[in-house]
Amino acid sequence: MHEIKCPKCGEVFQVDESGYAELLSQVRNEAFEEELHKRARELEDKNKSDLKMAQMQQEKSFAEVISDKDKEIANKDLEIQNLKNRISMGDSEKKLAVSEAIRDKDKEVADIKNEVIKLKSQLENQKTESALKEKSQEEAFQAQLKFKEDQIAQLKDFKARQSTKMVGESLEQHCQIQFNSIRMTAFPNAYFEKDNAVSGTGSKGDFIFRDFEDGQEFISIMFEMKNEMDTTATKHKNEDFFKELDKDRTEKGCEYAVLVSLLEADNELYNNGIVDVSYKYPKMYVIRPQFFIPMITLLRNAAHNSLQYQRELAIVKNQQLDLMNFETNMQEFKDAFGRNYRIASEKFQTAIDEIDKTITHLQKVKDALVSSENNLRLANNKAEDLSIKKLTKNAPSVKKMFDDLNNGQPLESGGGEE
């Protein structure tokens, strides 16, 4: 509760927080309106003073010119009078020369008088134009002042009827209405919707803008709208939302990030136009609501102009990819061919080695067969040379048995018997 003392009767009474805030807002609004009217009067007085000063300077300048011309006329008149005096005392030649000089001087005087008249006419025109300009400026100032007063009144009434949440939502609705009013004429292929998909970190932006051509996306923007009531106790700064906005832009795969803000209303940096804050976060901008559509148009047109270059770059990349694939296929063919050739060469060498081994083995078999034939021949020779006599040479009893079988006749050498 707050105690408030009446400055007239001196009575002290108590009011709650909401009543105190409303009274404080009224006091601020009255002070603001008083300051606004004071500034308007000062500006009006200054404009009048500046116009009057400029008019006085112009009048002074023209007066000086006219004065100089009057002096010049007086000098010319004096010269004419001197010439006339000389005519009266000179001869005919002098009179003729003086007469010609007078004509020239009269002409110069007439020219000077015409110029003075023109200057006076210009001065009158300048006065008229200054008066009209002053009146026009005053009317424009009054119209602008009335427009500002109406805007202030509307804003006060608008904010007085809204909560903090409604103030933020109204800025989103304002931007959405602005975009939808020109969507079909300026952005017929564009996507502009609320960001309702919560990311893995539990955050989301306000709106996402994407534009397409021939089904190909060539620009994307993450938007965040920020506003707060004048009576909000804790005032936020624009840079308080940069980090979160950059994270939303990255997680949703957007190229640009734009903060549409009514925060820091007295900060001239943000009031002068589009503010590039890419020195803190890449491709990030801060704008007031009146730059919402121009910002989209600026980024969209720049991206669309670069689309042709992107297509040409894609063609070059595809050509390079085709060349790389060709080289890869050629290398794979070479590797496969080399591998098959190596395997075939190894098997061919193995076959040759096996043939050599077989030839060596057959040679051994041949040698064995030749050696066996020699042994058989020797054995045959030995068999042919074998006889009973040789067999019973050291066996007398066996020899006697063969003799008995032969009826007592000794075996002969030729028949195998002695």
Asked if residue 306 has pLDDT above 80, the reply is: yes
User: Which amino acid appears at position 259 of this protein?
Assistant: L
Residue in this structure with the two tokens 């803190």, named with its chain if needed: 280
Q: State the pTM of this model.
A: 0.40
CATH architecture of 164-307: 3-Layer(aba) Sandwich (3.40)
Give CA torsion, residues 12, 13, 19, 25, to 10 deg. Answer: -10
Does residue 24 register a pLDDT over 80?
A: no
Compute the average pLDDT of residues 391-412: 70
Task: Summarize pLDDT for 97-136 with one digit per residue, the tens.
Answer: 767 777 877 787 788 778 778 877 877 787 787 778 778 8
Under 8 Å between Cβ of 212 and 189: yes
Three-state secondary structure call for residue 264: coil
Mean pLDDT along residues 36-57: 77
The answer to whether residues 204 and 194 touch, using CB atoms and an 8 Å cutoff, is no
Amino acid identity of residue 237, one-letter, is K
Q: What's the mean pLDDT in 287-306? A: 92
DSSP string, 313-351: HHHHHHHHHHHHHHHHHHHHHHHHHHHHHHHHHHHHHHH
- CB burial of 187-210 (b: ≥16 within 10 Å; e: otherwise) equals beebebeebeeeeeeeebbbbbbb
Answer whether residue 82 shows pLDDT above 90. Answer: no
Contact 197, 252 (CB under 8 A): yes
From residue 407, how far is each of 266, 394, 401, 404 by CA, in Å?
Answer: 163, 21, 10, 5
Which residues lie below 8 Å from residue 94, measured CB to CB, with a gap of 6+? 86, 87
Q: How far is CA 210 from the centre of its chain?
A: 14
Q: What is the pLDDT of residue 416?
A: 42
Q: What is the average per-residue pLDDT within 222-231?
A: 80
**Across the chain, what does the average pLDDT equal?**
78
- In the block, tokens 């795969």 appear at 253
Q: What does the alpha-carbon distance between residue 22 and residue 30 come to, in Å, rounded to a whole number?
A: 12
pLDDT at 152: 66
The rounded distance, in Å, linking the Cα atoms of 52 and 46 is 10
* pLDDT (tens digit per residue) in 325-342: 777 877 887 788 778 878
Residues 251, 222: Cα–Cα separation, whole Å: 10
How large is the average pLDDT for residues 140-149? 76
Give the tens place of pLDDT for each residue, 382-399.
776 666 666 677 778 777
pLDDT at residue 12 in the model:
67
Confidence of residue 417 (pLDDT cuts 50, 70, 90): very low
Q: Could you give the CA distance from residue 136 to residue 123 in angstroms, rounded to a whole number? A: 19
Rounded CA separation 192/184 (Å): 12
Q: Using pLDDT thresholds of 50, 70 and 90, give the confidence band for residue 209.
A: very high
Closest CA to 230 of 25, 37, 34: 25
Q: Is the separation of the CB atoms in 149 and 36 below 8 Å?
A: yes
Residue 168 · residue 218 · CB < 8 Å: no
Encoded tokens for 113: 């008088």
Pairing, β 2-5 against β 12-15: antiparallel
Longest CA–CA separation in the chain, Å: 221
Give φ, ψ of 168 to 5 degrees. Answer: -65, -45
Cα–Cα distance between 250 and 200 in angstroms, integer? Answer: 12
Average pLDDT for 313-331: 79
Model confidence band, residue 199 (pLDDT cutoffs 50, 70, 90): low
**What is the distance between the alpha carbons of residues 46 and 39, in angstroms, rounded to a whole number?**
10
What is the predicted pLDDT for the residue at 401? 76
Measured distance CA(405)–CA(399) in Å, rounded: 10
The alpha helices in 385-394, defined as continuous H runs, are 388-391
Residue type for 322, please?
Answer: D
Q: Give the rounded percent of residues in the chain with a pLDDT score beyond 70.
A: 77
Q: Give me the DSSP letters along 104-139.
A: HHHHHHHHHHHHHHHHHHHHHHHHHHHHHHHHHHHH
The torsion region of residue 91 among left (phi > 0), alpha (psi -120 to 50) and beta comes to: beta
* Residue 17 near residue 27, CB atoms below 8 Å: no
